[in-house]
DNA sequence: GATTGACCTCGAGTCTACTCAAGCTGTTAT
DNA sequence: ATAACAGCTTGAGTAGACTCGAGGTCAATC
């Protein structure tokens, strides 16, 4: 029997702060969270909410910006017919990450060149 | 014979906007830039300034935060006896970049896992 | 002589993703 | 019953790195 979770529980479960949880809701990254009318309007999270939050957290960990996540969440709510669209968002994101890695590798080269410069090995930045 | 460059020239030369150039000066990332007293106090940039700006741009491109660049600039002004110190800032930054690359590679794995999930190949995020 | 264009300063606005303060309600512990 | 605790809302603040608007000066051009 489940009575649902309070925000503090969810924070413990997911590792997100209660601030972040409320923020994500406000930003439309989560489906609406019902309130306990008896209890000062407290949010009551279900297992489904936990699942959603894990999904959002997972996407954030991949470095995806919130507006893309919002889009994926929106598509997920629509249903399975949006899977291809969601996948293409992920592919796009994958590409962006690959590019970022390439950029950073170039960066690394520059830094090492700069260090070499300080070692008197080269003469240009 | 050089009369010095105006901010617009420098912007063209370095690829930084005039806003950014003024911002960098304000933030102490460049040595003081003399003004033309005849001409409404226009900044007059020398070749040395161009060199400095290229350096700052180069460091920025490596993803170095402005306060570290400010420190390198400060040390550079002092003289050659600060080269070791500057190098250690660069080493530190190099380490940070390497870590970032590692993080992004993990990220990439997650995204690919997520895509696989949408392809029905796995069952967990 | 009026407009255009490049420059000036100062201060404010932008973006992203939170993070928190103030002021309030309701439950639980002493 | 009084305090501590967990939650609520609204709105503001934070950080980093710009980016720009307003209002003004000056020289050259039409």
The per-residue pLDDT for range A44-65, each reduced to its tens digit, is 999 999 999 998 998 898 888 9
> With 90 as the cut, is the pLDDT of residue B62 above it?
no
Is B54 in Cβ contact with A107 (below 8 Å)? no
> With 60 as the cut, is the pLDDT of residue B28 above it?
yes
Give me the pLDDT at residue B122, please: 61
Rg (CA), chain A: 21
Give Cβ neighbours of residue A121 (< 8 Å, ≥ 6 apart): none
Give Cβ neighbours of residue B105 (< 8 Å, ≥ 6 apart): A101
pLDDT above 70: percentage of residues in chain B: 94
> Nearest nucleotide to B23 by CA–C1' distance?
D18
Largest CA distance in chain A: 73
d(CA B115, CA A94): 10
Q: Measured in angstroms, what separates residue B64's CA from nucleotide C4's C1'?
A: 40
Give me the pLDDT at residue A16, please: 95
Q: First and final CA of chain A: distance in angstroms?
A: 66
Is B61 in Cβ contact with A110 (below 8 Å)? yes
Is A86 in Cβ contact with B110 (below 8 Å)? no
Which of A56, A62, A120 should one mutate to test binding to chain B, selecting the residue with the greatest count of B CBs within 10 A? Answer: A62
The per-residue pLDDT for range A11-49, each reduced to its tens digit, is 999 999 999 999 999 999 998 899 998 778 899 999 999
SS3 B45: strand
Cα A2 to the center of its chain, rounded Å: 27
- Is residue B119 within 8 A of residue B112, CB to CB? The reply is no
d(CA A89, CA A64): 10
The per-residue pLDDT for range A68-92, each reduced to its tens digit, is 999 998 998 898 999 999 999 999 9
Give me the pLDDT at residue A124, please: 58
Give me the pLDDT at residue B26, please: 94
- Asked if residue B23 keeps its beta carbon closer than 7 A to nucleic acid strand D, the reply is yes
């Amino acid at each position: 029997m489940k009575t649902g979770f309070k925000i503090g529980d969810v924070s413990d479960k997911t590792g997100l702060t209660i601030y972040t949880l409320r923020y994500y809701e406000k930003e439309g990254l989560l489906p609406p969270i019902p309130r306990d009318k008896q209890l000062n309007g407290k949010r009551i999270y279900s297992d489904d909410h936990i699942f959603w939050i894990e999904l959002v957290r997972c996407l954030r960990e991949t470095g995806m910006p919130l507006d893309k996540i919002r889009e994926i969440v929106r598509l997920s709510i629509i249903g399975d017919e949006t899977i291809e669209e969601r996948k293409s968002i992920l592919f796009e994101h994958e590409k962006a990450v690959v590019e970022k890695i390439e950029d950073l590798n170039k960066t690394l080269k520059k830094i090492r060149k700069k260090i070499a410069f300080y070692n008197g090995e080269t003469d240009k930045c």
